[in-house]
Amino acid sequence: MMETSFWLIRHALVSENARGFLYGVMDVPLCEPTLLEQAPMYRSLAARLPRSADWLVTPLSRTRRTAETIFAHGYPQTQLGVEPDLIEQSLGEWQGLPHAELPAKLLHPAHAFWPLAGSEKPPGGESMAEVITRVGAAMERLAETHAGRDVVIVSHGGAIRGAIAHALRIEADNALHMSVQNLSLTRLQRTVDGWRVQCVNELPGY
């Protein structure tokens, strides 16, 4: 297998209204003031990312809008493919629920750094453990279909943690301890010998 390099970026901050509830795979908008304020971060990403890379986003508009903003700040305009299997964790019937109402519905204690424990499965949704399985299978597939290439993926916090967990072969609750901030960069490589983690949560400089 030829080495494939993945550059995973978490989408930009969502609107203040959306941050008040559990949005999961809901298609919520980005925060417009922050898009303007963080222009230096977009310019830094545009300069940092490899040219001639393959670009992928998820079906949610916040990932496409983030990619387009990187293009607007200096990265050459590139066609965007769509990868549904790298979407955020589905919270099922709990999507749209204010954060304060969630604890009463949980079967397991919340994780310290995520609203749900790794094994918690919302009605009609998926657990973080299932996200790791879904994302892991997608990353293996993409490593083959984009073999020998650099692949830039604008995705979500949960999905990026899932990709790291797959690479490191760790459990869901352990993966949730990793910080993946908005606009942060995580780099993974798939080599003939397996997965290598190059960096996690690297924030673009100014």
Q: What is the pLDDT of residues 93-128, one digit of tens each?
A: 999 999 999 999 999 999 999 999 999 999 999 999
pLDDT band at 164 (very low <50, low <70, confident <90, very high): very high
* Residue 168 burial (10 A CB sphere; 0-12, 13-18, 19+): middle
Total Cβ atoms within 10 A of residue 158:
27
Nearest Cα to 142, choosing from 79, 82, 62?
A: 82
Nearest Cα to 134, choosing from 143, 124, 126, 123?
A: 126
Q: How confident is the model at residue 205, as a pLDDT?
A: 75
Is pLDDT at 206 greater than 60 in this prediction? no
Q: Which domain holds residue 142?
A: 4-202
CA distance 127 to 125: 7
CA distance 27 to 30: 10
Mean pLDDT in residue range 71-100: 97
**What are the two backbone dihedrals, phi and then psi, of residue 46, each rounded to the nearest 5 degrees?**
-60, -35
The mean pLDDT of the chain is: 97
Total Cβ atoms within 10 A of residue 95:
16
Mean pLDDT in residue range 58-71: 98
Structure confidence by residue, pLDDT tens digits, 9-64: 999 999 999 999 999 999 999 999 999 999 999 999 999 999 999 999 999 999 99
Q: How confident is the model at residue 4, as a pLDDT?
A: 98
The domain total for the chain is 1
Rg (CA), the chain: 16
With vertex at residue 53, the alpha carbon angle to CA 25 and CA 168, rounded to the nearest 5 degrees, is 60
CATH number at residue 169: 3.40.50.1240
**pTM beyond 0.85, yes or no:** yes
